[in-house]
């Protein structure tokens, strides 16, 4: 079954093209052969952007009606059990193809794009969304997709519309605002340095965010693993702590941006009528590009609203600080 879905196999030892270049060729081919994808990308021509100036930072709202399915997705256990998994190979649209990566993941074009290049990196088997098992793959993907693409991850309880199927996503580097903020010298605050890994926070950013930087993949994996375990312990979670992550690679160094979370959706998401705000923060949104599939939300959301949403869904500062203090 999977053989029928393979557009190409990525071989890191064959240096004819990068994984990002191969993905771009896949996208061009799929736009010609897959009508749903072509329609999704055509819809990007009509999206609108609006900047909201918050205290110490800005947020961009993107009016994108094509994201209504993802933003409104039911992710409770009953709904997940009762629907077909849209990431399983056997359930992919007939015209959809992908790039096989490490015999484990299939890089697919997202038919409801947020960006001019938007990929879903789906495991070839139907296994749950668990980051710790695939941390190394996360870093490897970032390196192989650099410098063109950034890889990101949504936890199963804070943004993943398919929490039952392991997957990452990729977007053009620099298009999520937090990526630029992480480079601003006056915003970067070094908090710890462990095993040649720098751990930073971002000042005046309106939500808790941790930035890890290192040239050593093994040390980075070790520190990130300890940090996520500390967050899990601090929040009392039985399983993976609620979090969103982004990873990029450049100048022989990895940068991981981690958003510790306290909840998936703000209270306003569940209100009735005009009081309802259909914003469901995942990595892209909490990173500063907030997707609003409803025009009323795009027009109405202001700085106090966004500041309140970020504060509501982010883990409290004292808990993040305590988790960092647990590192050794």
What is the pLDDT tens value at each position of the chain, 328 positions in all?
Answer: 798 999 999 988 876 778 999 999 999 999 999 999 999 999 999 999 999 999 999 999 999 998 877 776 676 778 777 789 999 999 999 999 999 999 999 999 999 999 999 999 999 999 999 999 999 999 999 999 999 999 999 999 998 889 999 999 999 999 999 999 999 999 999 999 999 999 999 999 999 999 999 999 999 999 999 999 999 998 888 889 999 999 999 999 999 999 999 999 999 999 999 899 999 999 999 999 999 999 999 999 999 999 999 999 999 999 999 999 999 8
Across the strands, what pairs with 194? 197
Q: Where are the domains of the chain?
A: 48-83+125-325
Q: Do 135 and 243 form a contact (C-beta atoms < 8 A)?
A: no
- The Cα–Cα gap between 198 and 203 comes to 16
pTM of the entire structure? 0.96
Count of alpha carbons within 13 angstroms of residue 232, beta-carbon side? 14
Q: Do 201 and 214 form a contact (C-beta atoms < 8 A)?
A: no
Q: Do 29 and 120 form a contact (C-beta atoms < 8 A)?
A: no
Distance from the Cα of residue 174 to its chain's centroid: 13
């Amino acid at each position: 079954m999977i053989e029928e879905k393979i557009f190409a196999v990525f071989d890191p030892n064959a240096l004819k093209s990068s994984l990002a270049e191969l993905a771009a060729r896949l996208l061009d081919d799929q736009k010609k052969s897959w009508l749903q994808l072509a329609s999704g990308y055509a819809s990007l021509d009509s999206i609108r952007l609006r900047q909201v100036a918050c205290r110490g930072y800005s947020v961009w709202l993107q009016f994108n009606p094509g994201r209504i399915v993802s933003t409104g997705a039911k992710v409770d256990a009953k709904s997940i059990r009762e629907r077909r998994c849209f990431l399983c190979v056997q359930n992919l649209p007939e015209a959809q193809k992908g790039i096989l990566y490490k015999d484990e993941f299939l890089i697919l074009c997202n038919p409801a794009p947020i960006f001019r290049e938007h990929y879903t990196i789906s495991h070839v088997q139907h296994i749950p969304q668990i980051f710790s098992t695939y941390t190394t793959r996360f870093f490897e993907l970032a390196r192989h997709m650099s410098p063109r693409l950034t890889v990101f991850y949504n936890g199963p309880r804070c943004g993943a519309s398919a929490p039952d199927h392991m997957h990452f996503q990729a977007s053009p580097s620099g298009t999520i605002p937090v990526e630029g903020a992480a480079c601003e010298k006056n915003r970067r605050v070094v908090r710890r340095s462990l095993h040649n890994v720098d751990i930073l926070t971002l000042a005046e950013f309106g939500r808790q965010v941790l930035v890890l930087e290192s040239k050593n993949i093994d040390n980075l994996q070790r520190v990130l693993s300890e940090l996520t375990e500390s967050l899990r312990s601090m929040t009392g979670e039985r399983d993976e702590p609620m979090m969103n992550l982004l990873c990029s690679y450049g100048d022989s160094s990895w940068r991981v941006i981690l958003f510790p979370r306290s909840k998936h959706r703000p209270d306003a998401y569940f209100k009735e009528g005009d009081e309802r705000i259909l914003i469901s923060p995942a990595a892209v949104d909490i990173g500063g590009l907030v997707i609003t599939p409803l025009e009323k939300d795009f027009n109405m959301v202001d700085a106090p609203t966004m500041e309140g949403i970020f504060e509501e869904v982010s883990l409290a500062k004292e808990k993040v600080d305590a988790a960092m203090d647990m590192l050794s």
